[in-house]
Amino acid sequence: KNWISRDEQERFLLSLLSLGLDRVAAEPERLANECHAVKKDTETHAVSNYSAFLQSAVCVRSVREELELSGRLLHELAADVPSLQRACEEVDEHAKAVDSLRKQTQTTWKVHAQLLEVLEVPQLMDTAVRN
């Protein structure tokens, strides 16, 4: 992988070409010193921010555990979906049956007076025959 872009490479080459022979010869040592300084700086930052690294590791572990738990719960929930779907279908069927009975009851109630009259006819005829 290239860690620096092509433009940066070209700028570095142009700066090398503009240096004198003595400076070009000293460039590897200068770069080694700069690399050493950067490594030292990185170590210093790592030591000074050690607690932040530890806290970040704890947070990452906590998030990983929470995600694993969420995954397990989601898997369990997904396993329960078919039985929930069947239960909902049963409730729907029961609700349709109750609605059908309600409609029959409403129809019966609407013709209640007429039914009473029809049911009273045999009793009226019996009473009329006796009189």
- Residue owning tokens 């590897």: 28
Are 46 and 53 within 8 A, CB to CB? Answer: yes
Q: What is the mean pLDDT of the chain?
A: 92
What pLDDT score was predicted for residue 1?
59
Domain extents for the chain?
Answer: 1-48
pLDDT tens profile 67-91: 999 999 999 999 999 999 999 999 9
State phi, psi for 49 to the nearest 5 degrees.
-110, 25
Are 2 and 10 spatial neighbours (Cβ–Cβ below 8 Å)?
A: no
Matching residue, tokens 């950067």: 38
Q: Is the pLDDT assigned to residue 2 strictly greater than 80?
A: no
- Helix intervals (H) in the chain: 6-18, 21-48, 50-110, 112-130
Per residue in 100-112, pLDDT (tens digit) is 999 999 999 999 9
How far, rounded to the nearest angstrom, does the alpha carbon of residue 116 sit from its chain's CA centroid? 62
Q: How far is CA 29 from CA 10, 22, 32, 60, in A?
A: 21, 12, 5, 40
Q: Tell me the C-alpha distance between 98 and 85, whole Å.
A: 20
Token look-up 């170590």 returns 43
